[in-house]
Amino acid sequence: MKKLLGLILSAALLMGVLAGCSGTPAENSGTSTPPVSDAGTTDASDKTNEAEWPRTYTDARGKEITLEKKPERIAVTTWMITENLLALETPPIASDTVETISEWGSMQSYFKKYQIEDLGQDHLSINLEKLVATNPDLILATTVNKKIYDQLEKIAPVIVLDAGSLFDDWQASVREISKIVGEETAAETFINKVLGEAEQGKAEVKALGDVTVSFARAWKKEFTLYSEQQLILFYDKENGLGLSSPLNWPTERSTLSLEAFSEFDPDYIFMSGADQEFMDELSGNSVWNALTAVKNGRVFSIDLSALTGGPLAMQYGVQTVLGALTK
């Protein structure tokens, strides 16, 4: 439990620190360009370009890194990149927080298929000895690893991604990382699959009628509310499930007391992080018991990994939410 709480705090801190990062993923993460040739740009729909090596990538530092061939032993310093690589079926050989994320619903099946070395429970304190032992041919780091860039570059070529952009747009993130590893077609296949699942589920959501759905994380007797923008695939009326949040729902992540949360009175509540002690306290609380979702038995536990904003989180979240709403 302590390790899980540590990771939650780490992720929350990272997202909070990076909330002020500006620019789109394309602007911040870098660009990928094959050597000058008749082929032109790295169009994700162009299978020919996937096979073009060497290719040069300009990372978040503005540094150009030339990869002579497709990387085969990729190590990463943060689980956010790991999630994107798994979506591309291109697992890293090493990552941080493996002990924790391997138990997450969104990634569990991948860790049963792939052996990934654990570099420690904190992306800010990577186990460099273990990293060296894995003999990577490429290291994918983020801007939060600035203090160890030099140490990482003594081990293998390093490409730095903008950490804030990894949370901005799950489609843009998986596409950007696919350019580095030469899996552009895999990125489009994955994106289309997830969007297709959301599109199919939209009709089931519509059949529920005019209901509101909320997502919150229980933390120290308070509720951290997820905005529609954070869970865009859940709420997008055109390209997502088309859920509706309660009236005046916060447009940014917000932490509120139970009394403040109760004012939204959603028809459905999906909650992560609530242990048995927390739920026992709520069960005896009159404010909680007066909520519409509680009275109608429409409060569902949801794995934190469905709410992190990454590509596998979006896919797992769509499947989990649909399963609960339609049962």
- What is this structure's pTM? 0.82
Average pLDDT over residues 186-191: 98
Question: What is the pLDDT confidence band of residue 43, given thresholds at 50, 70 and 90?
Answer: very low
| pLDDT at residue 46 is higher than 90 | no
CA gap 210, 199 in Å, rounded: 18
Average pLDDT over residues 94-112: 96
Q: Which domains does the chain have, with CATH numbers?
A: 22-182 (3.40.50.1980), 199-325 (3.40.50.1980)
Question: What is the pLDDT confidence band of residue 36, given thresholds at 50, 70 and 90?
Answer: very low
156-178 residue pLDDT tens: 999 999 998 887 899 999 999 99
Q: What is the pLDDT of residue 118?
A: 97
| pLDDT at residue 122 is higher than 90 | no
274-286 residue pLDDT tens: 888 889 999 999 9
Question: Percent of the chain, pLDDT > 90?
Answer: 76
Q: Three-state SS string across the chain, please?
A: CHHHHHHHHHHHHHHHHHCCCCCCHHHHHCEEECCCCCCCCCCCCCHHHHCCCCEEEECCCCCEEEECCCCCCEEECCHHHHHHHHHCCCCCCEECCHHHHCCCCCCHHHHHHCCCEECCCCCCCCCHHHHHHCCCCEEEEEHHHHHHHHHHHCCCCEEEECCCHHHHCHHHHHHHHHHHHCCHHHHHHHHHHHHHHHHHHHHHHHCCCCCCEEEEEEECCEEEECCCCCCHHHHCCCCCCCCCCCCCCCCCCEEECHHHHHCCCCCEEEEECCCHHHHHHHHCCHHHHCCHHHHCCCEEECCHHHCCCCHHHHHHHHHHHHHHHCC
213-251 residue pLDDT tens: 999 999 878 999 999 999 999 999 999 999 999 999 999
